[in-house]
Amino acid sequence: MPTSSTSHVLVTGGSGFIGSHTVLELINQGHKVVVVDNLSNSCEEPLRRIEKLAGLSETLPFHNVDLANIDDLRAVFKQYNFSSVIHFAALKAVGESVRVPLAYYRNNITGTLNLMDLMIEFGVKDIVFSSSATVYKSDPDGRPFREDSELGCTSPYGRTKLYMESIIRDVVDAESGWNAIMLRYFNPTGAHESGTMGEDPRQIPNNLMPYVSQVAIGKLDNVHVFGDDYNTRDGTGVRDYIHVMDLAEAHVIALERLTGNHGYEVFNLGSGAGQSVLEMIDAMSIACGHKIPYVIDPRRSGDIDTIVCDPKKANEVLGFKVSRDLTKMCTDLWRWQVANPEGYNQ
């Protein structure tokens, strides 16, 4: 039996970019949280900053545990009385997953299997899963993705997310009393408005906005724009961006919905509007106060014109709508970048 009678939310991958912002929001909304992370793509410093921002009088419970090690994870379950789980922990770089697919299957799938096994063992039946729009099959016509859009992945990373969803759904279908929400989000960016928490890529950023911000501050020379001949308003690819704090709030809303016994549900999280690469560079240029240099490179294989979200279901069922616009995303991101030019490793 757990040694603690107090009910906690287990957050796997809770020291990562989206995970850490969600942990802060959970605490601010009165939840008791336990973080598990193997620190393979993060560090403990965000947790210390969460403690300060939330005004905690005690250390935030953290366990450096790899979900692939079920015995270590079981020891955490024995220590706490978990009411629910928010599952972020996974390798997440599309390009890397193409180069080392087995590492992604081994880490993401095994970790999820072990987590679900222990949830069953300890009678924890509520889970929010951090999924991704990468589970959708590309639509050459650029129509907004709905939750019932055709599924189909172009990378091992995307396939692991889809398989992880399937594992969770099969568990929900197999045993009564389970509640699970899959949150498929599009392009998270921004940072906490304090400037003390943000995205801290361990290597050269894979995503557009961290790369743009590092060019803006002079760490990198130019933004590489892959193709300017797409069927979009300025020829560059259009994507749907969402502020990380909007995402964090959505996770808390989803967690609270689990108590309503709705079974298995899927929600897209995005703004419903798309911005092109050049529009994002321009917006960041305004935020930082100077032009950000870029170069046009050839298209990347597999990239398509437009990927945007249809947020209607999340709006109507979850009651979630984004509240932070593109300007807010960029100003918060720039504040974080200026205050933390070397990320958390200052």
Identity at 160, one-letter amino acid code: T
| Active-site residue (options: 80, 104, 157, 230) | 157
Q: Quote the tokens at residue 208.
A: 């557009």
Evaluate whether 46 touches 197 at the Cβ level (below 8 Å): yes
Residue spans of beta strands (DSSP E) within 13-103: 33-37, 62-64, 81-87
Among residues 7, 11, 61, the alpha carbon closest in space to that of 252 is found at: 11
Evaluate whether 132 touches 161 at the Cβ level (below 8 Å): yes
**DSSP string computed for 130-143:** EEEGGGBPP-TT-P
- Concerning whether 157 is annotated as a catalytic residue, the answer is yes
Evaluate whether 242 touches 185 at the Cβ level (below 8 Å): yes
* Residues comprising the chain, all counted: 346
For the chain, state the CA radius of gyration. Answer: 20
Active-site residue set: 157
